[in-house]
Structure 1
Amino acid sequence: MVWFEQIFQGALLGGYYALIACGLSFMFSVMGVINLAHGSFAVAAAFGLWAMAEYTGISPLYGWIVVLPAMALTGVAFQGLVLDRSTRAGFLIPVLSTFGLSICIDNILFEQFGADTRSLAPYIDDLSYESWELPNGVFVGKLAAYIFLAAVTLIGGLQVFLSRTHLGRAIRATAADRDTAGLVGIDAGRINIYATAIAMVTVGIAGATLAMRATFNPYSGGPQLIFAFEAAVIGGTGSLWGTLIGGIVLGVAQSVGAQLNPQGFLIAGHAVFLIVLVARTSFGRLVDRWRLIMTPKAAA
Structure 2
Amino acid sequence: MINTLLQGILLGGYYAVIACGLSFMFSVMRIINLAHGSLAVAAAYGLWLLASKFGISPFAGLLIVLPVMAAFGWLLQRFVLERSARGGTLLPILTTFGLSIVIDNLLFEQFGADTRSLAPFIGNLSYASWQLPGHIFVGKLAVMMMATAIIILGGLQFFLSRFALGRAIRATAEDPDTAGLVGIDARRVNATATAITMVTIGIAGAFLAMRATFSAYAGAPQLLFAFETAVIGGAGSLWGTLVGGIILGLAQSLGAQLHPQGFLIGGHVVFLLVVFLRLFRSGMPAFGKIRAFLRSPA
How far has the Cα of 1:288 moved from its partner?
12
**Partner residue of 2:293?**
none
Aligned partner of 2:33 among 28, 35, 53: 35
Matches of 1:15 and 1:288 in 2, distance apart? 36
Matches of 1:211 and 1:288 in 2, distance apart? 43
How far has the Cα of 1:287 moved from its partner?
11
How far has the Cα of 1:286 moved from its partner?
6.9
Matches of 2:60 and 2:187 in 1, distance apart? 33
**Partner residue of 1:297?**
none
1:176-210 per-residue CA deviation (whole Å, 9 max, x = no partner) reads 00000000000101100000000000000000010
Q: Could you say what secondary structure the match of 1:237 adopts?
A: coil
Question: After the TM superposition, which residues 251-262 of structure 1 pair with which residues of structure 2 at under 5 Å, given as runs?
Answer: 251-262=249-260
Letter in 2 for 1:255: S
1:49-102 per-residue CA deviation (whole Å, 9 max, x = no partner) reads 000000000010110000000000010111122101100100110011100000
Aligned partner of 1:142 among 133, 140, 143: 140
Matches of 1:70 and 1:14 in 2, distance apart? 27
**Contact preservation (8 Å) 2:78, 2:187:** no
Matches of 1:262 and 1:74 in 2, distance apart? 40
How far has the Cα of 1:4 moved from its partner?
1.3
**Partner residue of 2:282?**
284
Q: Could you say what secondary structure the match of 1:126 adopts?
A: coil
**Partner residue of 1:10?**
8
Matches of 2:287 and 2:166 in 1, distance apart? 36
Structure 1 residue runs of 5 or longer lacking an equivalent are 291-300
Show structure 1 runs of 4+ deviating over 2 A.
286-290
Q: Answer yes or no: is 1:240 the counterpart of 2:238.
A: yes
Matches of 2:174 and 2:285 in 1, distance apart? 22
**Contact preservation (8 Å) 2:249, 2:267:** yes
Q: Could you say what secondary structure the match of 1:129 adopts?
A: coil
Letter in 2 for 1:73: A
**Partner residue of 1:228?**
226
**Partner residue of 1:128?**
126
Matches of 1:30 and 1:286 in 2, distance apart? 26
Aligned partner of 1:113 among 100, 111, 114: 111
Aligned partner of 1:184 among 174, 182, 185: 182
**Partner residue of 1:219?**
217
Question: What root-mean-square deviation, in Å, do the aligned CA atoms of Structure 1 and Structure 2 show?
Answer: 1.3
**Partner residue of 1:170?**
168
Structure 2 residue runs of 5 or longer lacking an equivalent are 289-298
Q: Could you say what secondary structure the match of 2:131 adopts?
A: strand
Matches of 1:152 and 1:61 in 2, distance apart? 18
Q: Could you say what secondary structure the match of 1:81 adopts?
A: helix
The aligned length equals 288
**Contact preservation (8 Å) 2:279, 2:287:** no
Matches of 1:199 and 1:286 in 2, distance apart? 32
Matches of 1:279 and 1:69 in 2, distance apart? 40
Aligned partner of 1:202 among 195, 200, 203: 200
TM-score (norm 1): 0.94
**Partner residue of 2:271?**
273
Q: Which moved more, 1:278-287 or 1:41-50?
A: 278-287
Matches of 1:146 and 1:239 in 2, distance apart? 22
